[in-house]
Chain A
Amino acid sequence: MPAFLLFGSTFMQQNHFEIFGLPVSYAVDRQALAKRYRELQQEFHPDRFAAKSEREQMLSMQYAAQINEANNTLKDPVARAAYLLQLAGVEINPEQTTADGEFLMQQMMLREQLEDVRTAADPEAELDNLGSEAGQLFKAQEAAFASALSANALEEAKSALLKLQFLAKLQRQVEELEEDLLD
């Protein structure tokens, strides 16, 4: 670790929620986050240190990067869930997937539907349906995650996270296909 971090403040050791003065919880006040984010960048962005010493410029870059990382994590529902589990000491292997057979079956069917969209009579309507279904499933897993986490049922929360990852990927694929169809 570079020497200058040794002097480091409590800032670098704060968790992402603490940086923004938010409670450690799955529900995040997006507006408060955005406001606090801008306030912090007003203080620490390298542009504020362009005329300061080299050391301060370097520190400011690290702080600003840290603030950005924290903001990106909290903004993104899946990254936020993964981070909360990490804070709770649960390890998540990137290769790990859900073992819920019923959920996997459902996912397979949704993927098949996605593949059939191109040849459907009304691809756009079909895609819209699929998109909103994926959205609803996502919301349901978010609720499941939040309640599992607040009940400290970490295994259950982890299972919800793995499903969220699946659904987020499905949503991305729906969006990509949408873009393809528009062209």
Chain B
Amino acid sequence: MALLQISEPGQTPEPHQRKRAVGIDLGTTNSLVATVRSGSAVPLPADDGRVILPSAVRYTEAGVEVGYGARAAAGEDPYNSLISIKRLMGRGLADIKNFGDQLPYHFAEDTGGMPAIETVAGKVNPVQVSAEILKVLAARGAESLGGPLDGAVITVPAYFDEAQRQATKDAAKLAGLNVLRLLNEPTAAAVAYGLDKQEERGDAADKTIAVYDLGGGTFDISILRLSKGVFEVLSTGGDSALGGDDFDRAVAEWIAEEAGLGTDHDAGEQRKLLNTACAAKEALASEVSVSVSYGGWSAELSREKLAELLDPLIAKTLRACKRALRDADLSAEEVAEVVLVGGSTRTLRVRDKVRDFFGREPHADIDPDQVVAIGAALQADVLVGNKSREDLLLLDVIPLSLGIETMGGLTEKLIHRNTTIPVAKAQEFTTFKDGQTAMAIHVVQGERELVQDCRSLARFELRGIPPMVAGAAHIRVTFQVDADGLLSVTAMEKSSGVQAEITVKPSYGLGDSDITRMLQDSYANAEEDIAARALREAQVEAERTLEAMLVALQENGAELLDEKELEALERGMQALRLAHNGGTPEEIRSRIDELNALSEPFAARRMDESIKRAMQGHSLDEFDKP
């Protein structure tokens, strides 16, 4: 094929070269990174051999420290040693006030209503703090795999709403990662178990799996059906502000009360109380009773007493399980396997209660701290293209309904919770007044009827509506949720065909310009030059685009394109290669856009080919394999 000759060695990577991909579990308490090596997923250790990276970031005048050291400093230097930052992701300053007593930081307002935390190194926001953790993990992955990463799958609690997901993706962007997919943590865990079991037994029968995921700060329950490598999430539920931290707090409150400390503690004292509580809780996993001492006070804490303290919290998780089962139209008995995920499932009382609820012994044979990262690594390996037709597919759902505000502060749901993503829904609106040329739309997420009880996601304005009499304009607004669970909105005035301009402003979050500014901030003190980074990013994107094009052309360029089209594409690719080898980032991006535009008909025809094959009932395997 003539097209193969235009590939210049050394300029674009070989299409079949193994890619460097990792799965990252960005947890509330702990984070880790895993990758697939010789067919199995393994967590990657730091130089000291430990795989876990505590999700703690300490800001000092000298710089930023991430991990064990930062966590250890939380008692003595609570205002600069930030822990459990995941709880603040995608949250507004108003939300933070609700758990202000739990987090000792000095908050201030930052961009777009996001909270900023005052540290000795200046103001930082949760996205920046999370990016510091991701940078450490990305560097670990790159070092271990011997080069810059091609992509990463980052996990999020299934119950994360749009703003929390967007904040996570922004953090990854800030850390310089190419996000292949945001993956729900329980789904990742199911993948880690499901594949394992499938290989063991070679069974192909459908089975239902419940994943009970109790982490440091979040609880998720997901019900999935596994059928021949397809994981279909049937329902999901949970609480994005309930976890092991709350267990510690319940025990700490008990200590404070018993020791007569009152309820008013400074940040340092609160942290010490929580550490004491956490140690006692963990000791009770192997002991029947432990001695707890704080200051001059000491007492015995028994398993029974711990159970009494934790039961109200555990009951909350079981209520969520009940609802998830109902949403999946299943009873607890119909669940074939129960999987435990998250460090907080080590608490015996949790295991007992989960066993009672589902009536079967839950699985915990994969380390509950590692299982999510392992599942993420397995999916990253597939997504990046290392396994071209692996029989693994994840069909996930949106955890919370998406709607818009209508008259009287009521919510109109457009996309219901537990709808499989990606999904697109259109709704028509009309004007209220004669000559009206703009209209404001408020997007909310949640299950409640009143807008004020739901989470405000974005407000945007439709502009450029042709002036007409009231009610004559038909504006079709399409809400699209992609496979990462992220929303985008497009709108069109139907009678005139005018595509209305939309500005989506996330209620709490970052615009592109904020990210650029933060990137600049983060390099102000670093050696790496912003321009160099911008160039490198554009080059990487160029390489990715060229490679995707080469693979596509090899597959069926000759069948689907005529000579002229082939030549045009070839010229577009050559122009991009030239820009890649000496152009500015702007030039590279223009060439990428041009090439993408040129290849549009080709992309459409390739999809048509796939459809034809699918409709004939053939598998792509028969055609794809060389």
Contact = CB atoms under 8 A, between A and B. Distances in A.
B228 A4 contact: no
B232 A56 contact: no
B614 A43 contact: yes
A61 interface: yes
A47 B383 contact: yes
Interface size range on B against A: 35 or more
B348 interface: no
B17 to A, nearest CB: 12
A12 to B, nearest CB: 10
B552 interface: yes
Interface string A129-159: 0000000000000000000000000000000
A128 B17 CA distance: 61
A55 B600 contact: yes
Contact of A53 (B319, B322, B552): B552
A21 B604 CA distance: 22
B545 A53 contact: yes
Given A42-B393, A182-B322, A7 B600 contact: yes
Contact of B483 (A46, A51, A175): A46
Contacts of A4: 600, 603-604
B31 to A, nearest CB: 23
B394 interface: yes
A56 B421 contact: no
A112 interface: no
30 contacts: A7-B601, A8-B604, A38-B393, A39-B614, A41-B230, A43-B611, A43-B614, A44-B610, A44-B614, A45-B395, A46-B422, A47-B379, A50-B151, A50-B385, A53-B545, A53-B548, A53-B596, A53-B599, A55-B603, A56-B552, A56-B606, A59-B607, A60-B607, A63-B611, A64-B422, A65-B423, A65-B480, A66-B424, A72-B419, A72-B420
Contacts of B384: 50-51
A54 interface: yes
B482 A183 contact: no
Contacts of B7: none
Contact of A9 (B151, B492, B607): B607
Contacts of A40: 614
Chief secondary structure at chain A's binding surface: helix
A39 B618 CA distance: 10
B608 interface: yes
Interface size range on A against B: 35 or more
Contacts of A66: 424
Contacts of B96: none
Nearest to B482: A61
Contacts of B548: 51-53, 56
B180 interface: yes
Interface in A30-85: 38-48, 50-56, 59-66, 68-69, 71-72
Most buried by B among A21, A50, A60, A182: A50
A121 interface: no
A56 B603 contact: yes
B420 A63 contact: no
A179 interface: yes
Nearest to A71: B420
B469 interface: no
A54 B180 CA distance: 13
